[in-house]
Amino acid sequence: MVEQGHLINSNRSAYSKPNSHSRLRWAINKSANVVRFSLAGIFFWFGVLKLTGVSPVIELLRHSIPVLSEYPYIQLLGLAEVLIALGLVIDKLSRPASALMMMNLVCILGIIVPAPALIFAQGSPGVTTQGAFLAYYIVFILAGLLILGWRQRQVTGIRSIAPARYRESLSRPLY
């Protein structure tokens, strides 16, 4: 159909590459699994380090809450972290395991309250090596929030994850 010298195509999807939205949807869904399995590996390693008694957190606990750095408490914490890692691997347990992981990390971050000198460097605005180690926990907590929200419902379309103000632009062809 030609109107005023221009070709008019009523099918807008003809202008976009085929399956461009489905590829993006696939990538978004798979990225949550990558985060989940990565956290499971990290938490498994944290647990093994505590079970063998070589975790850097043990030294922090020894200076802040000495009772928790002794046997059997540190081994129980290590066992709990290994179980959290297994929960993150099992799809149906990933949300409760993620919530337990975040509670564990927040409790360990609580070391800052009784022993801030272990975390913040004296005479400089930076943090110590142990403080940098604990800063990673904030990133892990944010990844746990991602898993909590993600497992609630899988992404079924681009519009389901976009804020309302961006939905119109995402419904247009990408190319």
20-35: b (≥16 Cβ within 10 Å) or e = ebeeebeeeeeebeeb
Q: Is residue 25 part of a domain?
A: no
Overall pTM surpassing 0.85 (yes/no): no
Which among 70, 71, 145, 150 is positioned nearest to 106, based on CA atoms?
Answer: 145
Cβ atoms of 127 and 120 closer than 8 Å: yes
Q: Is residue 97 part of a domain?
A: yes
Q: Tell me the helix, strand and coil percentages in the chain, rounded to 5.
A: 75, 5, 25
Q: Is residue 113 part of a domain?
A: yes
Q: Give the integer Cα–Cα distance in Å for 117 and 135.
A: 15
Which among 123, 80, 86, 126 is positioned nearest to 103, based on CA atoms?
Answer: 80
Dihedral over alpha carbons 108, 110, 143, 154 (to 10 degrees): 100
Q: Is residue 9 part of a domain?
A: no
Could you give the number of structural domains in the chain? Answer: 1
pLDDT in tens, 147-169: 888 754 454 444 445 555 555 55
Q: Is residue 73 part of a domain?
A: yes
pLDDT in tens, 46-80: 999 999 999 888 888 888 888 888 889 999 999 99
Q: Is residue 112 part of a domain?
A: yes
Q: Is residue 14 part of a domain?
A: no
Q: Is residue 163 part of a domain?
A: no
Give the mean model confidence (pLDDT) for residues 111-129: 81
Report residue 35's pLDDT band, with 50, 70 and 90 as the boundaries.
Answer: very high
Give me the residue label for tokens 């990133």: 139
Q: What pLDDT is stored for residue 56 in this prediction?
A: 83
Give the mean model confidence (pLDDT) for residues 2-21: 52
Residue 37 neighbours by CB distance under 10 Å: 14
Say whether pLDDT at 171 is over 70: no
Domain that holds residue 147: 32-153
